[in-house]
Structure 1
Amino acid sequence: MNAEAKLTCCLTVGMDALSLWTTSFKSDNPSMISRGEFDAVATDRILELLATNDIRSTFLIPGHTALAYPELTKKIHGLGHEIAYHGWVHEDPREFDLAGQRRIFERGLEALDHVVGVHPRGHVSPAWNTSADTFALVEEFGFLYDGSRMATDFLPVYVRKGDRWPANEPYEFGQLTEVVGLPVAWPLDDVPLFEFVWGQLGGLTAPSVAEEIWTGDLDYARTHCPGGVFNLTIHPQSSGRGHRMLLLERFVEYVKQFDNVEFGCLGDYAERWKANNPIDVWRKANPALAGDGAITELPLGK
């Protein structure tokens, strides 16, 4: 990485809406499901914050959300923000076979195309859950980047497909693809910090705690990972509440004071990174992340 390159700060917005509660939390409780409707209220608050600070963001929109709130989805697109694929109904791909997963891709993409005429550059799996087949499908559907993996914190990778993990054998690294992997991490996601779900999430963290985590990671990244990406995932139904909106306002002002940090969306960053990091050059410099050099079996009799 160029030591003079800026860190890109991405305020990535997860528009899970109703699907978060019906699918990820498997709720049949109308009160609990209605928590997702707060996206219809709070997204305008997020959009106003972004507009005030001239920030272009990436919105992760399941097909289900696009159909439930088509005018809001059109507004996001019309304001120039990037829309990324985020499942059909925020499903866990591990619960489906290959054909089922392919159908989910098709339906999610069909919904986004129907509402805003977009085929997204980016794939971000719901709840960052992936199966052994996910990344082959990401490649098959022609995505530029994936934002579902945690192999790094602030530096991209090229994503592998076909990894396998036999129960009592060495790890099997798959094939490297041309898909750019942009890092994510649960400390940089507001749902586990803020949302309370009986027996599942403690949540209700004070904004000051999140602020300490987010500014601390930003400080490390801008100092030690020039040219990298700080990918903060927020959800209107979580961060759009008053005291948390004040946190977001403070965080944006904090970022703006540094000359070596700039705001951007995931897709634009991935395009620049890929142009500046040819896969063969990156592979040679990062053999462990590429999956090269691993020992796949032990000599017999040893």
Structure 2
Amino acid sequence: MKPWQWPEDRWRNCVNRVRAGKRLTPPWPEGKRCAVALSFDVDHETNELRDGGKSIGRLSWGQYGNRRGMPRIMSLLQKYDIKASFFVPAVAANLYPDEQRAVTGEGHEIGIHGWIHELNSLLPPENERDLMMRSADMLEMITGARPVGLRTPSWDLSESTLSIAREMGLLYDSSLMADDSCYELLENLERTGVVEIPVEWIRDDAPYFMMSRIGPEDVLAIFMREFEQAYQEGEMFQLTFHPHIIGYRSRIWILEELIRAAKAKGDVWFATHRQVAEHASTAL
């Protein structure tokens, strides 16, 4: 049956499987006007491994994220005394355990990002559940901290993902795009108590540098417009970076310029995704 032949209950059920509920925009802590939540998807070699790829060149690109991208990112965050969130596939964490221990050791957050950057929508529910559980266990074993948040690889949720996240007792997800601000996730129109910290391809470095190939100055201009509007609205500015993309010498300055612009406002709250979710959940 083609979609245009679907009965109403079928397309309604499809739409309502995971839905945006109440917008969660409590006043920010300490009278701050805007929240800035920086995140880094530490994919490393898993972008190639997830599809069974064996390209030595693409694997080396992933390794660049560890060798040069992450040190530059960590140096900037330390320079400006900012805490951020790092979403890490379990295989990447297992390849570089010292890197992840250093991340948590400096007070940053580690979140779930799949086992090997697999696409959840392609997995049978039992396999997806197993991989999510094992991913959380692996990250906890390596870092000593149990993840409370999820970002699905490629922002790909299956019909089972939210149910599994609820079973695991996760505080938040950061994979969906129904708003600019945090909101409560609904499952089949029922409240879940799970906070969504929305992402957007507009606020992600990958599409610009892997697909459109626009210049760094243009990318910064887009990000700055997003930030300025978030600041004017008194809401949240969330960004997604990848160490093997933003970590180059000709691109890392984008991150520093954004940090400097936000710091210059004087009333911006830099927070991890966990901190944002904990604060937003007070409005549930």
Q: 1:133 aligns with which of 156, 160, 176?
A: 160
Deviation track 1:242-279 (CA, whole Å, cap 9, x = no partner) reads 0111221112111111133221111011111111x02x
Contact 2:104 2:110 survives alignment (8 Å): yes
Specify the SS of the correspondent of 2:269.
strand
Runs of at least 5 residues in structure 2 that lack an aligned partner in the other structure: 1-24
Specify the SS of the correspondent of 1:242.
coil
The structure with the greater share of residues assigned to helix is 2
Q: Does 1:255 align with 2:282?
A: no
Equivalent residue pairs, number: 256
Task: Normalising by structure 2, report the TM-score.
Answer: 0.86
Which structure has the higher relative contact order (CA within 8 Å, separation 6+)? 2
Aligned to 2:271: 264
> How far 1:131 moved relative to its partner?
0.7
Q: 2:92 aligns with which of 35, 60, 65?
A: 65
> How far 1:109 moved relative to its partner?
1.2
Aligned to 1:80: 107
Whole-angstrom distance in 2 between the partners of 1:34 and 1:214: 28
RMSD of aligned alpha carbons: 1.5
Q: What's the % identity of the aligned pairs?
A: 28
Whole-angstrom distance in 1 between the partners of 2:70 and 2:32: 32
Higher mean C-alpha displacement, 26-35 vs 70-79: 26-35
Q: 1:31 aligns with which of 57, 64, 67?
A: 57
Task: Normalising by structure 1, report the TM-score.
Answer: 0.81
> How far 1:5 moved relative to its partner?
4.6
- Which AA in structure 2 matches 1:180? V
Specify the SS of the correspondent of 1:183.
coil
Instruction: Give matches, 1:1-302, under 5 Å.
Output: 1=25, 2=27, 5-23=32-50, 27-41=53-67, 42-153=69-180, 155-162=181-188, 174-195=189-210, 202-224=211-233, 226=234, 228-275=235-282, 277-278=283-284
> How far 1:21 moved relative to its partner?
2.1
Contact 1:124 1:147 survives alignment (8 Å): yes
Deviation track 1:200-236 (CA, whole Å, cap 9, x = no partner) reads xx34321111111100011111111x2x321101111
Specify the SS of the correspondent of 1:148.
coil
Runs of at least 5 residues in structure 1 that lack an aligned partner in the other structure: 163-173, 196-201, 279-302
Contact 2:86 2:108 survives alignment (8 Å): yes
Specify the SS of the correspondent of 2:157.
coil
**Where do 4+ consecutive residues of structure 1 move more than 4 Å?**
1-5
> How far 1:151 moved relative to its partner?
0.4
- Which AA in structure 1 matches 2:113? H
> How far 1:26 moved relative to its partner?
5.3
Specify the SS of the correspondent of 2:158.
coil
